Amino acid sequence: MSDLFSVADVSAARGPLRKMDIAPGDAETPAQYTLRAGEQRIGLNAHLGASLRLVHTGAIHCVHCGRTTRKSFAQGYCYPCFKSLAQCDTCIVKPETCHYHAGTCREPTWGEQHCFQPHVVYLANSSGLKVGITRKTQLPTRWLDQGAIQALPILEVDNRLQSGLVETLFKQVVGDRTNWRAMLKGDVAPLDLLAERDRLLAALDQELAALRQRVGDQAIGTLAAAPVALHYPVLEFPSKVVSHNFDKSPEVSGRLMGLKGQYLIFDTGVINLRKFGGYEVEVAIE
- Segment 222-279, tens digit of pLDDT: 999 999 999 999 999 999 999 999 999 999 999 999 999 999 999 999 999 999 999 9
Domain match, 209 and 241 both: no
Residue 172 lies in a domain: yes
pTM score of the predicted model:
0.93
Residue 205 lies in a domain: yes
**Residues written for the chain:** 286
Cβ-in-10-Å burial (0-12, 13-18, 19+) of 153 comes to buried
Supply angle C-alpha 33, 146, 202, rounded to 5. Answer: 140
Q: Please state the domain count of the chain.
A: 2
CB atoms within 10 A of CB 226: 10
Over the chain (286 residues), the average pLDDT of each successive run of 10 is 38 82 92 94 94 97 97 97 98 97 97 97 98 97 98 98 98 97 96 98 98 95 97 97 97 98 98 98 93
Residue 196 lies in a domain: yes
**Residue 28, pLDDT score:** 85
Q: Give CA–CA dist 184/255, Å, rounded.
A: 16
Residue 98 lies in a domain: no
**Domain residue limits at 55:** 4-79+233-285
**In degrees rounded to 5, what are phi and psi of residue 196?**
-65, -40
**Residue 286, pLDDT score:** 87
Domain match, 253 and 221 both: no
204, 229, 254: which is the final residue of a domain? 229
Supply angle C-alpha 101, 106, 107, rounded to 5. Answer: 90
**Residue 73, pLDDT score:** 97
Q: Which residue stretches of the chain are H helix?
A: 79-84, 90-93, 108-114, 141-146, 160-170, 180-185, 193-203, 205-215
Domain match, 177 and 152 both: yes
Q: Give CA–CA dist 239/201, Å, rounded.
A: 36
Q: Are 262 and 19 in contact (CB under 8 A)?
A: yes
**In degrees rounded to 5, what are phi and psi of residue 96?**
-65, -10
Question: Strand pairing of 51-60 and 279-285?
Answer: antiparallel
**Residue 3, pLDDT score:** 42
